[in-house]
Amino acid sequence: MTSQAIHFGTSGWRGIIAEDFTFPGVRRASAAIAGHVLARKKSPTLIVGCDTRFFSPEFALAAAAVLRSHGCRVLLCGEATPTPVIAHAILHGKLDGGVNITASHNPAAYNGLKFSGPDGGPALPEITKDIEKRAAALADGPPDHHQIENDFPGINPREPYFEQLRRMIRFDVLAKANGSFVCDAVHGCGAGWLDRILTDHGIAETEIRAERDVLFEGTGPDPSEENLAPLMKAVAEKKALAGLATDGDADRFGIVDRDGRFVSPNHILGLVFDYLLETRGYKLGASRSVATTQLLDAVAKLHGVKIYETPVGFKYVGPLLREDKIALGGEESAGMTIRGHLPEKDGILACLLVAEMIAARQASVADQLRDLFRRVGREFWPVRMNLHLPDDAQAKLPARLREDFKEFAGRRVTRTDRTDGVQLTFDDGAWVLMRPSGTEPVVRIYTESTTPAESQKLAEDARAWIVQ
């Protein structure tokens, strides 16, 4: 029987449970990771954790058993643990890396495996290629049931991570918020983390969807506008200052304003970047993926700092943080980190920064955004659309995206960027990006213009071009 190919996409190896993501695959991927790590250090120590998905604890135990059988020392998290907490534990404990069983925000049918190196960040492509190559050379073998006893050394990374947050967040400012917050874990592993640290600092909060639900109410743990309807309702009912949501592994954020309206993650990135430059005294820029709002560019120009553009994938942020070039690293898919923190997305940190910003400015997110648009001199309204294409159409798309675009949908193209997919910029500064997803079998369309209606029209034009 041929072993299933293991491919690491934008953020780890993900697949549909029992079809693509299986116990034999997890064992083979873990053996490949062990080979990779042992080639660099004789007696490495790795942390293994997981999210709240179906079979995640069991997959984590299988991974830990294989890593140990190959000579790695394994520290096993005793509860569902957010991705940023695992990243911090690697750095804090000077570990050699970590294996995390998570499919992050993907739909409930998925699970995944993510490997982080000793810097705590997602493994870079040269590392994942080595792991893929090693996995391809291995056969699926039967499990060694003697190795699957739960007798691994445990680790409790909570207090060191909370201490790190206390260094990053001005809880004295946050404590002066004139109101409360609603925390939504979306049935993921942010439950007991974001709400807990707020409560520890005397900040009023209410938590919803904290219990484990492996079906995620039939959708998925993505803190998107459509999935946060319960949070919107709770914010309105509680008359809260804001709703703060995290995704399945708490590396992404979702924000609902006090009027119950969802706020685009792109707008949050622009606001937080502006707030950090105002309050932290940084003279540093920001990094953004090619798919992320150019509101960040406008804020950078306002403050006289630089923007660094990267391909999609948070693994590209770490080097810029280590070189101390950026105050904020952001991606439109609700990923954020800041200077002095982790080379990994942290939805808990992002939610706390938004709460601090609201408390400090004593204004709604919408009011702050209007003021920011006024100060930068124009508005930015991003749209993202996902397209599920037949296999044949998906296979043909890369070649079509390599076409030479002089115009698109009746607009003159003034700039073409192929950093990731193809991004076309037009006369008026509006742009469209089309790229295959690195985590799901979909094509993503991103647009940005000065009005929501124009951005939506541009997205529809791109959809029509792709499906023609």
Calpha distance 69→72 (Å, rounded): 7
C-beta atoms surrounding 201 within 10 Å: 16
Chain center to CA of 107: 14
**Rounded to two decimals, what is the model's pTM?**
0.94
- Residue 162 CA: distances (Å) to CA of 89, 212, 382, 420, 443: 11, 22, 33, 35, 37
- Name the token pair of 159: 């207090």
Calpha distance 373→379 (Å, rounded): 5
Where b means 16+ CB within 10 Å and e means fewer, 90-125 reads bbeeebbbbbbbbbbbbbbbbbbbbbbbbbbbbbee
3-state secondary structure the chain: CCCCCCCCECCEEEEEECCCECHHHHHHHHHHHHHHHHCCCCCCEEEEEECCCCCHHHHHHHHHHHHHHCCCEEEEECCCCCHHHHHHHHHHCCCCCEEEECCCCCCCCEEEEEEECCCCCECCHHHHHHHHHHHHCCCCCCCCHHHCCCCCCEECCHHHHHHHHHHHCCHHHHCCCCCCEEEECCCCCCCCCHHHHHHHCCCCEEEECCCCCCCHHHCCCCCCCHHHHHHHHHHHHHCCCEEEEECCCCCCEEEEECCCCEECHHHHHHHHHHHHHHHCCCCCEEEEECCCCCHHHHHHHHHCCCEEEECCCHHHCHHHHHCCCEEEEEECCCEEEECCCCCCCCHHHHHHHHHHHHHHHCCCHHHHHHHHHHHHCCCCEEEEEEECCCHHHHHHHHHHHCCCCCEECCEEEEEEECCCCEEEEECCCCEEEEEECCCCCCEEEEEEECCHHHHHHHHHHHHHHHHC
Calpha distance 228→319 (Å, rounded): 33
Q: Residue 1: pLDDT above 50?
A: no
115 contacts 99 by C-beta, under 8 angstroms:
yes
C-beta atoms surrounding 214 within 10 Å: 13
The percent of residues in the chain predicted with pLDDT above 90, rounded, is 86
Task: Check for a shared fold between 13-156 and 160-376.
Answer: yes
232 contacts 243 by C-beta, under 8 angstroms:
yes
Q: Which pLDDT value is given to residue 144?
A: 60
Q: What is the largest CA-CA distance in the chain?
A: 65
Q: Which pLDDT value is given to residue 72?
A: 97
246 contacts 347 by C-beta, under 8 angstroms:
yes
Q: Mean per-residue pLDDT for 73-83? A: 96
Q: Of the ranges 66-80, 201-215, 338-352, 379-393, which one carries the lowest mean pLDDT score?
A: 379-393
Calpha distance 19→411 (Å, rounded): 43
Nearest to 36 by CA among 94, 97, 114: 97
The percent of residues in the chain predicted with pLDDT above 70, rounded, is 96
Q: Residue 140: pLDDT above 90?
A: no
- Name the token pair of 170: 């001005």
Nearest to 81 by CA among 62, 122, 53: 53
Nearest to 113 by CA among 54, 48, 190: 48
Give the chain's mean pLDDT: 94
Q: Which pLDDT value is given to residue 3?
A: 67
Calpha distance 46→86 (Å, rounded): 10
Q: Which pLDDT value is given to residue 439?
A: 63
Q: Residue 438: pLDDT above 70?
A: no
Where b means 16+ CB within 10 Å and e means fewer, 140-172 reads eeeeeeeeeeeebeebebbeebbebbeebbbbe
Beta-sheet pairing, 73-77 with 45-50: parallel
Assigned CATH for 13-156: 3.40.120.10
- Name the token pair of 36: 């990779």
Calpha distance 186→232 (Å, rounded): 13
- Name the token pair of 121: 């960040």
- Name the token pair of 67: 């890593």
Q: Which pLDDT value is given to residue 147?
A: 52
- Residue 113 CA: distances (Å) to CA of 82, 132, 298, 461: 13, 12, 36, 36
Q: Residue 429: pLDDT above 70?
A: yes
Q: Residue 440: pLDDT above 80?
A: no
Assigned CATH for 381-467: 3.30.310.50
Assigned CATH for 160-376: 3.40.120.10
Q: Which pLDDT value is given to residue 310?
A: 93
Q: Where are the domains of the chain?
A: 13-156, 160-376, 381-467
